Structure 1
Amino acid sequence: RWVYVLPKRLFTCRVVRTLCVAYCRLKLPAAVNLPLHETLSITAPHSDGGRSIQRLISGCPRLVNLTLEAVHRLKRVSVLDQRLRRFTLRCCHNMKSVDIDASELSSLDYCGTVPAERLLTLHGSPGVPLCTMDFCIVLSEDAGFTGFRVFMQKISDAKHLHLHHRKLEGRFFSGFPLFSILTRLVLQGPLVNCGTVVSVGRILEQTPNLEVLSLYMEVHVVYTKKKDDTLGRDLTMGEEDDEDDLMEKEKDADDSSVAPDEEAMVPDESSFSMPCLRHRVKEINMVHYVGDETQRMMARLLFGNALVLERMCVVLVKGTFALQSKLKNEIESWVVADAEKVFL
């Protein structure tokens, strides 16, 4: 199969500051020398092993922004000789360990499996201010549960956190670590049932200084055999593998995000009367509000307990004027604070 190979002289160019490579082969020269290079992004390299990727990183002494995405042959990476400010690791599912000098790290973006305990080591880190976590694959049973708690503990000094929770069961949040200095929180994922609402409450209990809360409420998708899911699929799979993959997706979609005993738990007003809502939260945003039972419960509990709220914004889905007016009036009736109300 034809593959584009990057010219070797590119890796010894002394004036290059930014290099973004995707779906090609690096084929590095004997010596890599990029003395002024600051931004490096590598996506799905062809046939390049972990040693080549490490050599390229090591050849950039002034590197401050590193992105690694879908580098399947990379198992270990070390960035201890450079002081990164931004690090992104996406879908490198075979990664075993990452060692970073995090003394100046200001942004960490992770998308992948709920990691094992020793995946990420942040050396000299006083705390990473901005963290984005998206666990697209959850390990079974206790391995994933333990890994999640340990990983979140490592970033518990964050000030801003964007957490994708669509793949996480409710039990993952029963031991959610304390984020004592977190001021901005974004929770992205569907509100499936009462258990998801309970999980949000558990997170808020661990964020005593939260000021801005945003909920990006995704649609709860159930895959069917009629859905065209060829984009991004490995076209070398046979029909039998394809059916197994589809059955796995349907199983994931049907699985509850919480334990059975939590699904029917209906939180009351007092359960959301937590310190951050009563004394700290000044802004609440809810995006993709359709007004189903679970979303209405979430809105009522949040706005009914946010005593010092200054601004609220709800982005409604498209619908008739009558329906949107009804949703708007209902939400306004739950707001107890004298806050600016924005509906989009």
Structure 2
Amino acid sequence: MQVRRRRREDRLSKLSDATLGRILSFLPAKEAGRASALSSRWRNVYAGVDAITLEQPESPIPDYEDYGSWSYGRPVDPNPKPPFGTTVTAALLARHLVPTAPAPPLRVLRVALNHYRREDASTVDHWVSYALKHAAPAPVGLELDLRLRRVPVCSRPYSLCCASSSRKRSRSTDADEEEEVNSRPRRMSVSDDDESSCWPQYTVPRMLFSSAALRSLSLGPCKLSPPDTISLPSLEALLLVRVTDCERNVQRLVYACPRLADLTLEACGMVTALYLHGNRRLRKLALRCCHSLVVAEVNDKLQTLEYRGAVPDTSLLALRSGGRWKPTSCMIDICGKEVSSEKELAKLGKFLQLLASTKHLHLRSARLGCGMEHDALAKLLPAFTRLLHLELTGLLPHDDGDDGDAAVAAVSRILQHAPNLKVLSLSLDTDPSKEGLHERRSWHDCKDSEFVRAHQLRCNKYEVLAAPAVTIPCLRKRVREINFAHYHGGRAQRTLAKFLLCNAPLLKTLYCGIVRGELWIQDMLRDEIRGWAMNTPENCIFD
């Protein structure tokens, strides 16, 4: 008996070109372009794409093992790839493949370059001109993202003090060392500016500052040089990375955006003061490694704050009206060396008092806990009565001299001040300074074995972990979810994990991301964590 085979029906191809083009808009431009090779039906579908996203791939890593031999170097490719700028231009022009059907208005253009060159200026100008000419009208608008160079945000690496000596040294030594740390940010910011001034600078075309359709703008590194008249009535999100303009130009640009709701500044060393009280719609502010910034005057409607840099003063955020600021989400990232002096800890405690009403708090520093175990923070740490989600990110090395007691004390102290906490997330890491990774200047100075040693599992099942018996009300009555990320299994990390899990009887969700390593160590850590939990959580996830 012959069995009839059902003919599979291609329902996706029955959709209209406009619908298929909108679907492909959510893919990178290269992936969307490959869809034209599926069949003759998809040949002209790319013409309906209204979002283009392209990122320049990194250069291949050369092989230095045969250095000095006659065969050194990669073989010449007979069919080399076209330049990245040509690829972006081709992706824009491919939207006009069908003469009978006009291209849809452009909604998104994201282009990320690795290295901008002076000869690329005219090409980038053509991209900007095309995007503004074919931009979707309001309220959809245009999202323009031009990253012209791949550079780190800050050159200040996270580094720890010696665990045994840093906690026993005198206060005078701490003060002297901290004085040196305080002077370092400005010197580093100046060096960063000097380094960026050596790069070829792209100057933004003036037509960009008079676009009524521009809804989101991300630029950098570049030079703005705005005209006397700036009109961006629809701009809602602005991101500036390593802008070398004077402070006045940045301030004028911000003032000219009446609908601005999201502002991000990264490594803008020329900005010393920022006045945002006139932007009444501003709800999110991110200041990342703007080490020269002294004051940012905001309105009381600001809901989300992200700060990365040295320990901030309370004068960093100022309310012109003198009212009380009530944020809902805050991230404080103390980059650079571990904060351990009483002066800096006291300054951190006073700044955290401004964030007492937040519901989501993320603290990141060189050492996990931001030095909360020190007595200098005991009297200044506020009561986070509305805090529901706490995230702590920092280094917690395997061979910590205090066997994790400092981490337990730091986490305990902040939990004592968060009576209504429900979710606790810890992102753990090892100390890269042990392997000397923070002193490396380029990728070819690092060996693969060093990265492996920095993230390998180390667990001794015969160690006796002494978790202190401390009663914390929020752990006993409120906490429902605990998350561990980058769990390595060192003594300090295991001590902290045991302390938290043995004091959380109402836990419903437990997540633990264990780093890669030998399978038997992963299984042992997995069983150990399950055994510490006072009850069996409904959702127990190990990754």
TM-score scaled to structure 1, two decimals?
0.83
Q: Which has the larger radius of gyration?
A: 2
Q: Report which structure shows greater RCO (CA 8 Å, sep ≥6).
A: 1
Which of 382, 398, 406 lines up with 1:177 in the alignment?
A: 382
Partner of 2:112: none
1:1-344 superposed matches below 5 A: 2-46=200-244, 48-82=245-279, 83-103=281-301, 105-122=302-319, 124-137=323-336, 141-166=341-366, 168-169=370-371, 170-171=373-374, 173-174=377-378, 175-191=380-396, 192=400, 193-222=404-433, 229-230=440-441, 268-271=467-470, 273-340=471-538, 341-344=540-543
Aligned positions, number:
308
After superposition, the Cα gap between the structure-2 partners of 1:111 and 1:209, relative to the gap in structure 1 and judged at 3 Å, is same
- Give, as a single letter, the amino acid of the residue that structure 1 aligns with 2:408: V
| 8 Å Cα contact 1:198/1:267 also seen in 2 | no
The superposition leaves residues 174-214 of structure 1 with CA deviations (integer Å, 9 ceiling, x where unpaired) of: 34221111010111112243212211111111111000101
Q: 1 or 2, which has the higher helix percentage?
A: 2
Q: 1 or 2, which has the higher strand percentage?
A: 1
The superposition leaves residues 90-128 of structure 1 with CA deviations (integer Å, 9 ceiling, x where unpaired) of: 00001110011131x222111011012311124655511
Secondary structure (helix, strand or coil) at the match of 1:19 reads: strand
TM-score scaled to structure 2, two decimals?
0.54
After superposition, the Cα gap between the structure-2 partners of 1:173 and 1:188, relative to the gap in structure 1 and judged at 3 Å, is farther
Secondary structure (helix, strand or coil) at the match of 1:35 reads: coil
How far apart, CA to CA, are the structure 2 residues paired with 1:132 and 1:337?
32
After superposition, the Cα gap between the structure-2 partners of 1:315 and 1:140, relative to the gap in structure 1 and judged at 3 Å, is closer
The alpha-carbon deviation at position 220 of structure 1 amounts to 1.6
| 8 Å Cα contact 2:346/2:377 also seen in 1 | no
Any gaps of 5 or more consecutive residues in structure 1?
233-265
- The range that moved more, 182-191 or 214-223, is 214-223
Partner of 1:256: none
Identity of aligned residues (%): 33
The alpha-carbon deviation at position 19 of structure 1 amounts to 1.4
- The range that moved more, 281-290 or 311-320, is 311-320
Secondary structure (helix, strand or coil) at the match of 1:20 reads: strand
How far apart, CA to CA, are the structure 2 residues paired with 1:225 and 1:132?
28
How far apart, CA to CA, are the structure 2 residues paired with 1:85 and 1:269?
42
How far apart, CA to CA, are the structure 1 residues paired with 2:365 and 2:439?
25
Secondary structure (helix, strand or coil) at the match of 2:432 reads: coil
After superposition, the Cα gap between the structure-2 partners of 1:140 and 1:338, relative to the gap in structure 1 and judged at 3 Å, is closer
How far apart, CA to CA, are the structure 1 residues paired with 2:413 and 2:442?
36
Secondary structure (helix, strand or coil) at the match of 1:165 reads: strand
The superposition leaves residues 206-260 of structure 1 with CA deviations (integer Å, 9 ceiling, x where unpaired) of: 111000101100122216667663259xxxxxxxxxxxxxxxxxxxxxxxxxxxx
After superposition, the Cα gap between the structure-2 partners of 1:267 and 1:32, relative to the gap in structure 1 and judged at 3 Å, is farther
